[in-house]
Amino acid sequence: MDLSSLNGDVIWLGLALVASGAIAGLLAGMFGIGGGAVLVPVLYQFLTLLQIDQAVRVHIAVATSLGIIVPTSIRSFLAHKKRGSVDMELWRSWIVPVPAGVVLASLVAAYVSGDGLKGIFAVIALVVGLKMIFNRESWRLGTDIPGNPIRAVCGILIGFFSTLMGIGGGVMNNTFMTLYGRPIHQAVATSAGTGVLISVPGVIGLAWAGWGAPGLPAFSLGYVNVLGVLLIIPITTLAAPLGVRIAHALSRRVMEVAFGLFLITVSARFAVSLMD
């Protein structure tokens, strides 16, 4: 093996990961989300520039995003729990269904192609983006969160689709809880706990799913790029406050529409790339 070539590849990978973290952290701070929904497409673009095998690009972006979410979701959950703002009854009822959805997603990721995973991301991003743009606080499905089996099914779906998108479930859990009349602050706090239930088993599952897969970059455990996790976490932490300052200069509605347009743009780009 040519060591100089390997060192060069690692350097370029490291620079791309740092750039991904900076952009994702800025956008995450602006849009008030955990970062997965912006990190996955940003990281995917840099992996494309590095000419990482197309068959595993989306898988790596998704799995690495979940790895980054693990410490942030745990820290956020414990902080919200200390303040008593988490709906612990709902969270406990999802300890089995949400990870079950994560396991199903890991099995799917082990066999679905890169284009298939990209298509799934594009569809969900489009739906969430449209919801952000046309969101109305008056939208309700009920006055309180339903019991089982509806609750369990929703938990499985949140775990399943969040894992395939490489997100902590915040957008989906927030939508679910607010549609059933829960205040947004409680929804955000509970979403942090949902992120723990998704990211921890998600990282383990996607590491297993990609174990031994061809075309993986250096420092990968299955589809999880450890170098990416270690580099991006501090970079996103540094970049996010700048995004927060930008967000505070704009109205909440403007930010919702901006994030919705961002997701629709990502969805369109992924859809177009599927036609190439």
**What are the tens digits of pLDDT across the range 79-129?**
778 878 788 999 999 999 999 999 999 898 888 887 888 888 888 888 878
Q: Does pLDDT of 241 surpass 70?
A: no
Select the more confidently predicted residue: 202 or 23: 202
* pLDDT at residue 1, as a whole number: 40
* pLDDT at residue 163, as a whole number: 87
Mean pLDDT of 229-257: 72
What letters, b where the CB count within 10 A reaches 16 and e where it falls short, cover 186-219?
bbbbbbbbbbbbbbbbbbbbbbbbbeebeebbeb
Q: Where do we find the tokens 């690495």?
A: 64
The pTM for the full model equals: 0.77
* Closest by CA position to 42, among listed 32, 54, 28: 28
Lowest mean pLDDT among 30-39, 55-64, 158-167: 30-39
6 band by pLDDT with thresholds 50, 70 and 90: very low
Q: Does pLDDT of 71 surpass 90?
A: no
Please return the burial class of 223, using the count of CB atoms within 10 Å of its CB with bins 0-12, 13-18 and 19+: buried
* pLDDT at residue 137, as a whole number: 63
Q: Does pLDDT of 5 surpass 50?
A: no
* pLDDT at residue 93, as a whole number: 93
Contact between 247 and 99 under an 8 Å Cβ cutoff? The reply is: no
Nearest-angstrom CA–CA distance, 214 and 54: 11
